[in-house]
Structure 1
Amino acid sequence: MNILTIDTGTTNTRVSVWQDGNVAGQAARQVGVRDTAITGSKAKLEEGVRETIADALATASLDAADIGRVLASGMITSNMGLCEIPHVVAAVDIDGLAGAMREAHLPNVWHDPIWFVPGVRNAVEHIGLHNCEAMDMMRGEEVESFALVERLGLDEPTVIVLPGSHSKFVSIDAARRIEGCVTTLAGELLHVISHDTILASSLKEGFAQRIDAEMLLAGAASAKKIGLGRACFSVRILDQFAVYDANARANFLLGAVLGSDLLTLKNSSAIRMSPGTRFVVSGKPILREAIARLVEGDDFFSGTVTVLGDDEQRDLAGHGAIAVARRRGLAG
């Protein structure tokens, strides 16, 4: 059976066409649920998903009639998406997620029903100031996580790192269940600080181009000692009164922001991570290497640290959606 997977986020949509477990064609567009939030209408999102599907089919040299199943995951199941589904409450295994899938017919997008995979949220109720930090949720990362559970054969407590605009840390238990997650704004913070603050002139190229371990670790240590805000301003001081180049300064900032994320893992009540928990790091090469450098010298992260290669993390959303659908009997 040929399968088409849709992965819609806040700003982007990616569609993949799968034949015999392999990607035969792909397409992506800058359209996501943010467009619904801005316009107040789902029309642009519907159009964008429909056109991305057409592009993906063209790259695979297939027609709509050649597709036996369409699966969708990510923010497309949110209240600003195309088929709202409540989050499944953690802890949940892949069978539980499969059982919560829903079918919907969206004639403006596809001629047949589409199966949607819901997101997952932490098991926290009656949210208030006393417990809001323990709450977290995801839409899209759950299928990516189950894809990695399957690909890596994970059968021990593990935290999966999925860095991005909103970095997710997903806790997997020994029973291969998602226990919960915790989210930071690391990617957005790096972008805003690098481009929309006084530090823009100190960073030149914006993001770090290559890892400078000394500056990366120094940034993390600075944020831990004096706070993220002051550590960030130190980038300007290093520009004005020291001889470090732009890449070194960008590494200092990267370390400060990512170091703050590691503090989250140690102290957040949203997930339980203890020393000895396995740590699996995905993401773009610079981010993967930076996180690996930060944890390798930290005694708290004493478990196995796995840094994924590009092939190991390719097409995670589609792979995971198919794995979930298989448990529902929707994919061979």
Structure 2
Amino acid sequence: MHILTIDTGTTNTRVTVWRDQQALCQAARQVGVRDTAISGSPVALQNGVRQTIAAALGDARLEIGQIDLVLGSGMITSNVGLHEVPHVLAPAGRDELAAAMVQAHIPEVCEPPVWFVPGVRNRVDNIGLHNVEAMDMMRGEEVETMGLVQRLGINKPTVIVLPGSHSKFVHLDENGCISGCVTTLAGELLHVITHNTILAGSLDSDFADEIDTEMLLAGARSAGKIGLGRACFTVRILDQFTIYERNARANFLLGAVLGADLLTLKNSSAFRMTPGTQFVVTGKAMLRESLALLVKHDDFFSGDIVVTTDEQQANLAGFGAIEVARARGLLA
């Protein structure tokens, strides 16, 4: 059985071709829902996804007529995507996501119909200033989460950490259902601070090369005590008046930004974080190892820490979408 999975985010689209649920090849393009938001038209997104599909099929030496199932997930299901699908309310697991899948025919993208996996949002009603912080949502991370539940055999309360431009913390209950999520701008903040502020000179406009545990922890402590803004400026002071080298200063900044995220977990009302909850940390090697170190050295957290391997998180969105489709009965 040949399956094609489409994973579209804000700025990028990845298409993976699968045979008997094994990934054959993947193609990617810098096109996402931002293009629709800017232009007000879905044409650029439609063309980009179609071209990405063609590239993936070409690498696999397959024709679109040989594809048995097409699955879409991520921001592709938003109001600026290819086909809007309402969020599923938490708590939601694989079965709830499967039941809410929607099929649509989009000839501008591909001839076969596409089955779309919905996103998930926190269960918060009558949103105002009194409860807005409890609200959060995801499109794309839900299939990644379901993929990790399957691959890692998660069967107890867990927080899955999905760092990126928008870092996502997903809380799972003991039944493997998403009970809530929290999003931060950690990745975007780190990028902007490193490249577009006065700290660019202190960091050579570059991120940390390797982990410096002492400086990473110091940055997190600083942000927790005096706030992220002051902790960031401390990087310039370290540059001007100390002997700490560039990588050490970059680690201090990284620790400050990620430490602020851990503070969010402790205090957010989006879900209730308990000290003994298991942590599963994904993402690029530098980020996942840094986060794991910060959690390990924070007395608040006492649960197990699982750091995924590159193999465990490979093609995660497509794999998770296939797991949801299996629950819907779409796989032979």
Asked if these proteins are the same fold (TM beyond 0.5), I'd say yes
Given that 1:167 and 1:183 are in contact with CA atoms closer than 8 Å, whether structure 2 keeps it comes out as yes
* Partner in structure 2 of residue 326 of structure 1: 326
Does 1:215 pair with 2:195? no
Looking at structure 1, the residues matched to 105 and 207 of structure 2 have their Cα atoms a distance apart, in angstroms, of 42
* Partner in structure 2 of residue 2 of structure 1: 2
Letter in 1 for 2:209: Q
Instruction: Give 3-state SS (helix, strand or coil) of 1:256's partner.
Output: helix
- Measured against aligned partners, the alpha-carbon deviations of 1:99-140 in whole angstroms (never above 9, x if no partner) come to 000000100001121000000000001100000000000000
* Partner in structure 1 of residue 118 of structure 2: 118
* Partner in structure 2 of residue 186 of structure 1: 186
TM-score by length of 2: 0.99
Instruction: Give 3-state SS (helix, strand or coil) of 2:225's partner.
Output: helix
Does 1:166 pair with 2:163? no
Looking at structure 1, the residues matched to 331 and 238 of structure 2 have their Cα atoms a distance apart, in angstroms, of 55
Does 1:90 pair with 2:90? yes
Instruction: Give 3-state SS (helix, strand or coil) of 1:5's partner.
Output: strand
- Measured against aligned partners, the alpha-carbon deviations of 1:14-64 in whole angstroms (never above 9, x if no partner) come to 000000111111100000000011111100000000000000011111111
Does 1:36 pair with 2:17? no
Q: How far did residue 277 of structure 1 move?
A: 0.4
Does 1:148 pair with 2:148? yes
Q: What is the aligned-residue RMSD (CA, Å)?
A: 0.7
Instruction: Give 3-state SS (helix, strand or coil) of 2:180's partner.
Output: strand
Does 1:68 pair with 2:52? no
- Measured against aligned partners, the alpha-carbon deviations of 1:153-198 in whole angstroms (never above 9, x if no partner) come to 1110000000000000000000111101000000000000000111
Letter in 2 for 1:115: W
* Partner in structure 1 of residue 275 of structure 2: 275
Q: How far did residue 93 of structure 1 move?
A: 1.5
Q: How far did residue 299 of structure 1 move?
A: 2.0
Given that 1:77 and 1:84 are in contact with CA atoms closer than 8 Å, whether structure 2 keeps it comes out as yes
Instruction: Give 3-state SS (helix, strand or coil) of 2:251's partner.
Output: helix
TM-score by length of 1: 0.99
- Measured against aligned partners, the alpha-carbon deviations of 1:264-315 in whole angstroms (never above 9, x if no partner) come to 1111000121011000000000001100111111122111100011001111
Given that 1:106 and 1:113 are in contact with CA atoms closer than 8 Å, whether structure 2 keeps it comes out as yes
Instruction: Give 3-state SS (helix, strand or coil) of 1:161's partner.
Output: strand
Given that 2:15 and 2:53 are in contact with CA atoms closer than 8 Å, whether structure 1 keeps it comes out as yes
Given that 2:36 and 2:44 are in contact with CA atoms closer than 8 Å, whether structure 1 keeps it comes out as yes
Given that 2:4 and 2:71 are in contact with CA atoms closer than 8 Å, whether structure 1 keeps it comes out as yes
Letter in 1 for 2:108: N
Could you tell me which runs of 5 or more consecutive residues in structure 1 were left unpaired when the two chains were aligned: none
Letter in 2 for 1:27: A
* Partner in structure 2 of residue 50 of structure 1: 50
Instruction: Give 3-state SS (helix, strand or coil) of 1:216's partner.
Output: helix
Instruction: Give 3-state SS (helix, strand or coil) of 1:58's partner.
Output: helix
Does 1:301 pair with 2:301? yes
Given that 1:205 and 1:246 are in contact with CA atoms closer than 8 Å, whether structure 2 keeps it comes out as no
Letter in 2 for 1:17: V
Q: How far did residue 205 of structure 1 move?
A: 4.6
Looking at structure 2, the residues matched to 205 and 280 of structure 1 have their Cα atoms a distance apart, in angstroms, of 30
Looking at structure 2, the residues matched to 68 and 27 of structure 1 have their Cα atoms a distance apart, in angstroms, of 19
* Partner in structure 1 of residue 260 of structure 2: 260
Instruction: Give 3-state SS (helix, strand or coil) of 2:314's partner.
Output: coil
Instruction: Give 3-state SS (helix, strand or coil) of 2:171's partner.
Output: strand
Looking at structure 2, the residues matched to 90 and 320 of structure 1 have their Cα atoms a distance apart, in angstroms, of 17
Looking at structure 1, the residues matched to 41 and 21 of structure 2 have their Cα atoms a distance apart, in angstroms, of 35
* Partner in structure 2 of residue 195 of structure 1: 195
* Partner in structure 2 of residue 226 of structure 1: 226
Looking at structure 1, the residues matched to 280 and 272 of structure 2 have their Cα atoms a distance apart, in angstroms, of 15
Letter in 2 for 1:209: D
Given that 1:162 and 1:169 are in contact with CA atoms closer than 8 Å, whether structure 2 keeps it comes out as yes
Looking at structure 1, the residues matched to 249 and 299 of structure 2 have their Cα atoms a distance apart, in angstroms, of 26
* Partner in structure 2 of residue 105 of structure 1: 105
